[in-house]
Amino acid sequence: MFNRKSAYLSISCLLFSISASAEIITVHFDAKVRSVQTPSGTESPQVQDGENLNFTIAYDTEAELVNNYYVDSNPNSYFSASFEGGLTASNKNLGGTVHKIESNKMEFPEYNEVHYNTNFSPKNAVTNNGESIYFYLQFKQITDELRDVKLISDWNVAPNYFVWTEALVQYNRSFIYADITNFTVGNTTSVITSVEAGNQQIAATGGTINYAYSIANQEETGATVEAWEYITMPDGTAYNLGGTSEIKLAPKEEYVQTGRYFTIPAYWPAGQYTYNFQSLLIDGGDKKGEMSKSAFTFIKE
């Protein structure tokens, strides 16, 4: 993945809108802690390097724009997070401002680039220890296309659409940096993906992982999905397995692909990897935009 770090720490992401109606969008994120920085003399938080982090943002697509920030106070909006080590956080049902969202663009004509950034800043989050915790979720897209910046209401893009994804967490005077590795929207019931691994161990010299996947249409009407595959590396970065595929499904059809494989080279690092298979419903009536994801882990010695 092409990453370009800027000098500021915030949550940046391309935000655009193709919907005129207000609604609550729920997005689930997977992340992995990259580093924990704790000042000398301060007790370290109960979070470790390499720990998995999952969080969810539910926000109003018609949040009010106030002084360059979208201020979301919808009582149905919320933020929640869960660390692998047991620390959790939430601002659900606490009232007041739930999110402040800043979106902007930066033009670099000398490079023929436009950077689209957005800062998600959940407010009033409290841990399961009763302590305050602060999150900043960051996404960036770089393109040569110049357009207006609006609050996002459609996440119908693959995770590698963004060149930079990061979460910054401030807790007990410590700063926790995590790389966002994936996101999904809502709960998919109309189309369900599944994967099955034939083997989940690779020698240090490299080898092949055999697997199968399926996509099942649960509806009485036809559906079209975009599907893509990628591997999450031990350090949390993503490696794409080809591009996206468009798959048309008849009513109640299950599309099955067996005998699939990919090769892990010897020079890839040892550790735990995750194979991810994800689908996006691009034609399916009022459920357009739903995502479904399945995954399995494997080890390289």
> Nearest Cα to 150, choosing from 185, 105, 120?
105
Q: Is 60 exceeded by the pLDDT of residue 88?
A: yes
Residue 72 has pLDDT above 60, yes or no: yes
144 assigned to some structural domain: yes
Among 165, 185, 205, the domain-final residue is 185
**pLDDT confidence tier of residue 294, bands split at 50, 70 and 90:** confident
Asked if residue 278 and residue 164 are part of one domain, the reply reads: no
In this prediction, residue 287 carries a pLDDT of 64
High-pLDDT (> 70) share of the chain, %: 88
CATH number at residue 273: 2.60.40.3880
pLDDT band (50, 70, 90) for residue 286 = low
In a domain, 127, yes or no: yes
Residue 15 domain flag: no
Question: How many domains is the chain built from?
Answer: 2
Q: Does 156 map to a domain?
A: yes
With a CB cutoff of 8 Å and minimum separation 6, the contacts of 276 are 182, 229, 230, 231, 232, 293, 294, 295
8: in domain: no
The mean-pLDDT minimum among 199-208, 245-254, 259-268, 276-285 falls in: 276-285
Q: Is the domain of 154 the same as that of 294?
A: no
Q: How far apart are CA 224 and CA 63, in angstroms?
A: 31
* pLDDT in the model for residue 4: 36
pLDDT the model gives residue 108: 94
User: Across all residues in the chain, what is the average pLDDT?
Assistant: 82
User: Structural domain of residue 50, as residue ranges?
Assistant: 24-185
* Together in a domain, 29 and 169: yes
The whole-number pLDDT of residue 17 equals 28
Same domain membership, residue 296 and residue 263 = yes
**pLDDT over threshold 80, residue 240:** yes
Q: Are 151 and 119 within 8 A, CB to CB?
A: no
Q: Is the pLDDT of residue 227 over 70?
A: yes
pLDDT attached to residue 19: 32
The string of pLDDT tens digits covering residues 168-185 is: 999 988 999 999 888 877
pLDDT of residue 273: 92
Q: Given this model, what pLDDT does residue 206 score? A: 95
Q: Are residues 155 and 131 in the same domain?
A: yes
Q: How confident is the model at residue 231 (pLDDT cuts 50, 70, 90)?
A: very high
Residues 34 and 177 in one domain: yes
169 and 134 housed in the same domain:
yes
**For residue 242, is pLDDT > 60?**
yes
Contact 259, 155 (CB under 8 A): no
Quick one: pLDDT at residue 189? 56
Q: Is the pLDDT of residue 225 over 50?
A: yes
170 and 241 share a domain?
A: no
Query: Is 14 a member of any domain?
Result: no
With a cut of 80, say whether residue 261 has pLDDT above it.
yes
What pLDDT is attached to residue 21? 39
pLDDT, residue 195, reads: 86
Using one digit for the tens of pLDDT, what is the confidence trace for 35-47?
999 888 777 777 8
Q: Is the pLDDT of residue 187 over 60?
A: no
Q: Which band of pLDDT confidence, cut at 50, 70 and 90, is reported for residue 213?
A: very high
Domain boundary among 185, 220, 236: 185
CA distances from 188 to 54, 61, 116, 287, 300 (A): 18, 20, 28, 9, 32
Are 129 and 34 members of one domain? yes
Q: Looking at the domain assignment, is residue 149 inside a domain? A: yes
Say what the pLDDT of residue 150 is.
79
Q: Are residues 65 and 163 in the same domain?
A: yes
Residue 16 within a domain: no
pLDDT at 91 over 50: yes
What average pLDDT does the segment 231-244 reach?
88
Maximum alpha-carbon separation in the chain: 62
Residues 162 and 63 in one domain: yes
Of the residues 135, 154, 185, the one at which a domain ends:
185
How many C-beta atoms lie closer than 10 Å to residue 106's C-beta?
13
**Do both 226 and 136 map to the same domain?**
no
Could you tell me the pLDDT band of residue 186, with boundaries at 50, 70 and 90?
low
The count of other CB atoms within 10 Å of the CB of residue 2 is 7
Q: What is the pLDDT of residue 255?
A: 93
